Amino acid sequence: MLRNNEHKDEDDDFMDISNSMDPVAGDISDSDAVVTNDPAISSSSSSSSSSLTSSSDAELYDEADSNLFLLFFILVVIIPAVYREIEWHQNSTWPRWLREGLDLFNTNPSRAYDVYLYQRLDPDSKPPFNWPYCRNVHEEAGLYLKFIFDFYHDLPDRMLFIHAKPERHSLSPIEAAQCIRDDVFYTSVNNVWFGNRPWIAGSPDPTDNLTLMYKCARHLLGLFGFDGEAQLNPDNHVPKDQSIYSTMCCAQFYVRKERIRHYTYQQWSAIYNASLQPYCTTMLDREIPGTFGVRSFGSAMEFLWHIILGLESANMPPPKKKTNTDLCHLFRSGCFGSLCNAVVSGFLK
């Protein structure tokens, strides 16, 4: 099972992952620190990792058996888009849900989830940022794409992509992910609905008077092989960016590896590399990290995940009880955190 949370000593050059899942090679567009399982590196961090495992545990199973044990018990791997929302130098203050999924704090092999943590502050991953590095681009989208790019060939079975403050848009997103039915391949874990919204956020491009977010969304869908125009504007609205989208808000979702692999590694590589470019479709939507304003790439991706991974229409129907959009088709009832029968807010009247 994928893990990146063995503690790294200051003398270590890289984070240690306690299994055989390496990032995909060839991330030459980024200056990210490489995550590796080099035996020499693993041995250099052995004193650190051994301090996290009791001697009685060691007598019960060796490292290989331990990883096999984890494969059966870790149900979800959580990928949080963390930036400055935590005090990196004071990990004892990190939120409980984050610490519960990291070996640095929780060595229980039967825990319900694992956390794969990136940091977006230090390309050299020096303490206290001694976690794999992701460039700080496009809000959560840049980090989500980085994980898929890194691990496409070794994805965990079930993933939960969430924000650094996941409960801002959801009742109990981590618990909700553990209530999802086994035959579900993608669903939002939020309970806030964005309905009947046109693609008009931000400034228009004066060359064609289409908003930059619409043009970016169309371009990004094209990288997955979609006809972006037909997908976003099936009713041929004029102007085109008056076409609408409807979806659960805010890009926190559960997905199975099979759905990510619905697309090729080349397609995911194309969109990941697009995320590293200074702009999406034109210099007019160039984004400067740390400044305010509409983010064409990140904003577009927020409202495309349900199309790309959910295989839904842009204007998907809202959840409605006793129909095929009832959230009880996605979440088990009687499970703590389940969105089955939960109140969904944000409907437009």
Listed by start position, the domains of the chain span: 76-330
Percent of the chain whose pLDDT exceeds 90? 62
DSSP string, 94-114: S-HHHHHT-TTT---TT-SEE
pTM of the model: 0.79
For the ranges 69-78, 206-215, 321-330, the lowest mean pLDDT is seen at 69-78
Q: Is 90 exceeded by the pLDDT of residue 349?
A: no
For the chain, give the mean pLDDT: 80
Characterize the bridge pairing of strands 76-81 and 113-115.
parallel
d(CA 172, CA 300): 25
* pLDDT tens column, 38-60: 333 333 333 333 232 333 333 33
* pLDDT tens column, 57-95: 333 333 333 443 333 344 899 999 999 999 999 999 999
Query: How confident is the model over 280-306, as a mean pLDDT?
Result: 80
d(CA 276, CA 174): 29
Q: Measured in whole angstroms, how far is the alpha carbon of residue 196 from the centre of its chain?
A: 25
* pLDDT tens column, 214-263: 999 999 999 999 999 999 999 999 999 999 999 999 999 999 999 999 99
Among 314, 27, 280, which Cα is nearest to 148's?
27
Q: Is 90 exceeded by the pLDDT of residue 274?
A: yes
d(CA 259, CA 263): 8
